[in-house]
């Protein structure tokens, strides 16, 4: 049995732009239906995309997988779910075809998240603005 119910539709199109600080910013409200709950990415919500060191951009660029990155950042910021579940949601969105990532790139991004995500889970802060999670 799968731990998450997969939706048949792909991840929604997210309208974003880069702000003066180099962060991605949502230009208009976007509801992301995960099948098990909704996440509202409010206008003005920011994310750094996938937090990938420049040396690894040949594998995954920060601008790939933006829907997965925004949703995952929201789950990490609010901590309403355990870390492993937030990471599983990221993987679930990647499997729907979010962004331009190949299967290898999606797996590499998810694996790096599982290994290094503790940093974000225990110390995430800074200038990133929050959206809202709807149950």
- Every domain of the chain and the residues it spans: 16-134
- Region 50-75: what's the mean pLDDT? 79
Chain centre distance of CA 62? 11
Bridge-partner residues for 26, per DSSP? Answer: 16
Q: Report whether pLDDT(44) > 90.
A: yes
Q: Report whether pLDDT(30) > 60.
A: yes
Sorted by sequence, the CB contacts under 8 Å of residue 78 that are 6+ apart come out as 130, 133
Q: For residues 126 and 31, give the distance between their C-alpha atoms in angstroms, rounded to a whole number.
A: 24
- Is the model more confident about 42 or about 132? 42
Q: Report whether pLDDT(94) > 70.
A: yes
Q: Pick from 114, 105, 13: which is nearest to 72 by CA?
A: 114
Arithmetic mean of pLDDT over the chain? 77
| Band (6; pLDDT cuts 50, 70, 90) | very low
Q: For residues 65 and 22, give the distance between their C-alpha atoms in angstroms, rounded to a whole number.
A: 16
Please report, rounded to a whole number, the percentage of residues in the chain having pLDDT higher than 90. Answer: 11
Which pLDDT score is estimated for 10? 57
Which pLDDT score is estimated for 116? 84
């Amino acid at each position: 049995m799968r731990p998450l119910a997969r939706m048949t539709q792909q991840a929604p199109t997210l309208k974003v732009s880069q702000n003066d600080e180099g962060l991605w910013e949502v230009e208009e409200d976007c509801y992301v239906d995960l099948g098990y709950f909704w996440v509202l990415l409010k206008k003005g919500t920011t994310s750094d995309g996938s937090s990938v060191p420049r040396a690894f951009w040949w594998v995954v660029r920060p601008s790939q997988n933006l829907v997965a990155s925004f949703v995952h950042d929201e789950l990490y910021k609010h901590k309403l779910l355990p870390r492993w579940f937030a990471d599983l949601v990221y993987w679930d969105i990647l499997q729907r075809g979010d962004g331009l990532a190949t299967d290898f790139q999606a797996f590499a991004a998810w694996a790096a998240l599982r290994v290094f995500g503790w940093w974000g889970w225990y110390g995430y802060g800074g200038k990133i603005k929050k959206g809202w999670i709807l149950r």
